[in-house]
Amino acid sequence: MSRLRVVLDTNVLLSALLFEEGRLAWLRRAWQDGILVPLLSRATAEELLRVLKYPKFRLSPAECDELLADVLPFCESVSIDDPPANLPPCRNVDDRMFLEVAVQGRADALVTGDADLLALAGAFAIPIITPAQLRDRMRAHEE
């Protein structure tokens, strides 16, 4: 069985990392078990690092490092040297980096709960799906 190559937007990735018993905890197990491979670029990794430092999470530097150690070794780095030109326009320009990683990394899906990204699902060559839809795909992939 081939591993699913996925771009997880920052909120999805954070939920899987921060809430070990939360509704997206299964995602962490999926990448640790080699069922899926999260794809990251420099920009998406920098955003993850920035968001982990938000005061509302109250994470120490050591806790941030621990969380990063739970995901980074399982990720594949995607270089965005020449950003794709034919991407659909994003309502939120900050979301463009996820589309770029999906294209450059030849992702099987971009996983998000973000309405701005989900609105692009029909206009983007790579499936843009919710975590629940990914879970359904993974179950079908196993069969």
70-127 pLDDT per residue, tens: 999 999 999 998 878 888 888 888 999 999 999 999 999 999 999 999 999 988 999 9
Q: What is the CA radius of gyration of the chain?
A: 15
| Domains present along the chain, CATH in parentheses | 4-142 (3.40.50.1010)
Average pLDDT, the chain: 92
> How many residues are listed for the chain in this entry?
143
Q: What are phi and psi of 137, to 5 degrees?
A: -60, -40
* C-beta neighbour count of 95 within 10 angstroms: 20
| Cα 32 from Cα 108, distance rounded (Å) | 18
Q: What is the pTM of this model?
A: 0.93
44-74 pLDDT per residue, tens: 999 999 999 999 999 999 999 999 999 999 9
| Cα 32 from Cα 74, distance rounded (Å) | 7
Amino acid 1: pLDDT:
53
Amino acid 84: pLDDT:
82
